[in-house]
């Protein structure tokens, strides 16, 4: 929940301008502005190669008396091809459960929008040594009801909640440990071929100066960028780091 519309337009325009010379053909970039700005950002990026529009949230019903909510068909109609679900802030501030997140994942798949499914542990869970247990539960309850046919459409974003907005970042080794575990769970549920094809992002204070170390890990496929995305050069720096590994 950042920036006014003029500020969001300026930021998007700066990113688009930089990408005219620095876009990577093999690395998609997804911009996820507040819902109010989706149509404007879509207009600004429409001529940019490999840049796509995403939403920060979705409701799980396609229509109805759900005042204030936004459905997957609505998102599709304004050009969204991605949407974030299960972000830790949605879980903590709005009480979203794994079961509700699963409903959102399924609604997005139904609308042909790729879900970016966020999972991750809070600080006390990390300190208690139950990180992998929490990850396993979130995958089981938020994802594993999705069929083999559709699951590869889902992007998983591991976000250690203790590293969001705190300046703390999981070390590359910590990130890899959890990402490898996620890949292992996907392999058990869906098989090695599907698991190897799925994208697993890291989210948690990713910046241009630490991105390359994270991306050098074998199971870290990209980043879900938070605060650094509000600075065009910093954000593109993270993007460029992925192209250099």
- In this predicted structure, the answer to whether residue 15 has a pLDDT above a threshold of 80 is yes
166-202 pLDDT, tens per residue? 777 789 999 999 999 999 999 999 999 999 999 999 9
Give the CATH number for residue 68: 3.20.20.70
In a domain, 152, yes or no: yes
In a domain, 213, yes or no: yes
Confidence of residue 44 (pLDDT cuts 50, 70, 90): very high
Confidence of residue 165 (pLDDT cuts 50, 70, 90): confident
In a domain, 102, yes or no: yes
In a domain, 94, yes or no: yes
Give the per-residue pLDDT at 200: 98
- In this predicted structure, the answer to whether residue 2 has a pLDDT above a threshold of 90 is yes
Give the per-residue pLDDT at 99: 98
Bridge partners of residue 83, in order along the sequence: 55, 115
Q: Which two tokens stand for residue 7?
A: 């500020």
In a domain, 8, yes or no: no
Q: Which of 96, 159, 179, 234 is catalytic?
A: 159
Residue 179: active-site member: no
Give the per-residue pLDDT at 244: 84
- In this predicted structure, the answer to whether residue 164 has a pLDDT above a threshold of 90 is no
Q: Which domain holds residue 229?
A: 52-243
196-224 pLDDT, tens per residue? 999 999 998 899 999 999 999 999 999 99
Confidence of residue 25 (pLDDT cuts 50, 70, 90): confident
Confidence of residue 63 (pLDDT cuts 50, 70, 90): very high
Confidence of residue 58 (pLDDT cuts 50, 70, 90): very high
In a domain, 189, yes or no: yes
119-150 pLDDT, tens per residue? 999 989 999 999 999 999 999 999 999 999 99
Residue 87: active-site member: yes
In a domain, 188, yes or no: yes
93-120 pLDDT, tens per residue? 999 999 999 999 999 999 999 999 999 9
Write out the chain in H/E/C secondary structure.
Answer: CCCCHHHHHHHHHHHHHHHHHHCCCCCCEEECCCHHHHHHHHHHHCCCCCEEEEECCCECCCCCCCCCCCEHHHHHHCCCCEEEECCHHHHHHHCCCHHHHHHHHHHHHHCCCEEEEEECCCHHHHHCCCHHHHHHHHHHHHCCCCCHHHHCCCEEEECCHHHCCCCCCCCHHHHHHHHHHHHHHHHHHHCHHHHHHCCEEECCCCCHHHHHHHHCCCCCCEECCCHHHHCHHHHHHHHHHHHCC
- Counting the structural domains of the chain, the total is 1
In a domain, 42, yes or no: no
Global confidence as pTM: 0.96
Q: Which of 14, 22, 69, 87 is catalytic?
A: 87
Mean pLDDT over 65-71 rounds to 98
Query: CA–CA separation, 221 vs 241, rounded Å?
Result: 11
């Amino acid at each position: 929940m950042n920036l006014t519309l003029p500020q969001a337009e300026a930021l998007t325009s700066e990113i688009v301008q930089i990408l005219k010379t620095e876009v990577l053909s093999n690395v998609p970039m997804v911009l996820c502005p507040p819902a109010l700005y989706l149509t404007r950002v879509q207009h600004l990026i429409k001529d940019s190669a490999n840049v796509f529009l995403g939403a920060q949230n979705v409701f799980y019903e396609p229509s109805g008396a759900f005042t204030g909510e936004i459905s997957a068909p609505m998102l599709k109609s304004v050009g969204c091809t991605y949407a974030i679900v299960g972000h830790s802030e949605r879980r903590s501030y709005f009480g979203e459960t794994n079961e509700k997140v699963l409903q959102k994942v399924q609604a997005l798949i139904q609308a042909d929008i790729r879900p970016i499914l966020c999972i991750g542990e809070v600080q006390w869970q990390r300190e208690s040594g139950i990180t992998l247990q929490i990850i396993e539960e979130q995958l089981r309850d938020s994802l594993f009801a999705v069929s083999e046919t559709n699951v590869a459409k889902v992007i998983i974003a591991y976000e250690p909640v203790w590293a969001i907005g705190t300046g703390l970042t999981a070390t590359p080794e910590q990130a890899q440990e959890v990402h490898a575990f996620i890949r292992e769970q996907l392999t058990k549920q869906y098989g090695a071929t599907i698991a190897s094809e799925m994208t697993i992002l890291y989210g948690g204070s990713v910046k241009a100066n630490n991105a390359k170390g994270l991306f050098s890990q074998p199971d870290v496929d990209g980043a879900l960028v938070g605060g650094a995305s509000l600075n065009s050069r910093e954000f593109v720096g993270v993007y460029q780091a992925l192209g250099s590994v």
